[in-house]
Chains A and B, each alone.
Chain A
Amino acid sequence: MAANDSGLKLGTTLYSMTPAFHGREYTFEQLVRKVAAEGIGPGLEVVGFQSIKGFPTITDEYADWFKGLIAETGLTLSCLGINADLRIDPDKPMSDDESVEYHARQLEAAAKLGFPLVRYQYPAGPDVIGRLAPLAEKLGVKMGLEIHAPHHPNHPDVIAFREMYERVGSPMLGFIPDFGATARAVPPSFFDAQRANGVPEDLITLAQEFWVEEGEPYQRRDRYIAAARARGFQDRHIMSLVIIFGLFSRAAPESWAEIMHQVIHIHGKFFDFDENGDEIAVDYARVLPVFVEGGYDGFMSSEYEGHMWTDADGFDKIRRHHAMARRILEGVAA
């Protein structure tokens, strides 16, 4: 299944098929079997709180069934998405001790299911993750911080984890780049969905002007809101566009090279393709060579997220994403 001679292997996260799963069109088992049948593995990523009822409690019976299913399909478990649910009580965030315990249960679930690594989220904080390193070593499960827009490798929040990694020095701690952080454009289908909801074209143009400016994303978001209000646009239209400042950032794709030695998994975030089969929002021809040349060895999960605003077929999207990735990787190898 290797698309090339590099260590970058392809795969799928079932998060890409959220509408089909949520709509009860496919069960978890049917999704797994279809990923195998369509040849959009071999890597398989799962979000614990999406795919598994009762997560992170994993019964022996479920673990046996799960591992049997994966073995039968020939897929390779790449990553389990875990969550930093610090605000289960919205008025009283978890203490560090409670958060360590909450994350530990999810790490143990990953080990029991046979995952080699987990994706964790930055609200966990460096101290909690540092305390979990011995457990990760004992279980043989690596922990990767997802670097998701508006973060990037040199964002202060990420630097705090890089410094902790330096201090702790555990081989189990790493990073998971999400390519939405190094985007070149807002996906056209996002704006199409907003137009369909009546958002005026002039407002979309205004939001894009602020999106391409230099500077910290949330400051640009606030300047966009102020400018749009000054021009008299309706607040509900204004607010429907603000997520572009959090979902897609414009850090340089080359910035991943700095942390390459600690990259343990990739979220190949994507949305829309042009007539040549290239992704419009993320410049894969620029970002993938950074990983090949950096000697990355691991999986890239194709992570379609256009389902936040359309119900387009996730399987079709992933087939295209894999075809594009293979073409680019073969070009890099040649």
Chain B
Amino acid sequence: MMEHRVVSDNGLASSPEGCVIDIRLPWYRSLPLSVVQIDEVQIDGEVIDKDKVTFELEGERMPLSELRPKTGTVWYVLDSAFLHIDGIDVAKGSEHEVAVTVSFRPPYIAGLNRIVKTTKTLSAN
């Protein structure tokens, strides 16, 4: 069951720019970033403007629109990626409802677009 796995437990942290959400690929195997999309990020019910969000994998940060060309970058199934949210400040220890929707097209199944949304209430680190 993958519905609860996009947003990691204990996966919210404050950062100098705003906050960071620890996310996972909700699938049994690794996939190239070119088939993955971050569809929506909500914090406390507010949909975050995609321009304020960047995606980080293995130390490399990119705008959400830059996942699509990354045919050679694989998101390993055990690795966290991080969504950096600019301008949304969360105080350490404060609780927030975080929702992230990820969709992906398994490259061996023509026509399937899997959409998974996880909502969790997290205390910021």
The residues of A with any CB-CB pair to B shorter than 8 Å are: 15, 18-19, 21-24, 47, 49-50, 53-55, 83-90, 121, 123, 193, 307-311
Contacts and interface: CB of A to CB of B under 8 A. Distances in A.
Nearest to B79: A53
Nearest to B1: A311
Contact of B30 (A55, A87, A307): A55
Given A22-B77, A311-B1, A86 B28 contact: no
A282 B28 CA distance: 23
A306 B19 CA distance: 35
Contacts of B35: 87-88, 90
Interface in B8-63: 24, 28-32, 34-35
A311 B24 CA distance: 17
Contacts of B31: 49
Q: Which of A24, A47, A83, A88 counts the most chain B CB atoms within 10 A?
A: A88
Interface in B67-125: 71, 74, 76-79, 105, 107-110
Given A22-B5, A307-B1, A47 B105 contact: no
B71 A89 contact: yes
Contacts of A21: 77-78
B26 to A, nearest CB: 9
A310 B109 CA distance: 22
A45 B32 CA distance: 23
Contact of A88 (B2, B5, B32): B32
B28 A53 contact: no
Contact of B107 (A15, A55, A87): A87
Contacts of B77: 21-22, 49-50
8 contacts: A22-B24, A22-B28, A50-B28, A50-B30, A84-B108, A85-B108, A89-B71, A123-B110
A90 B76 contact: no
Contacts of B79: 53
B108 A87 contact: yes
Contacts of B74: 54
Contacts of A193: 1
A121 B108 contact: yes
Contacts of A47: 28-29
B76 A53 contact: yes
Nearest to A18: B28
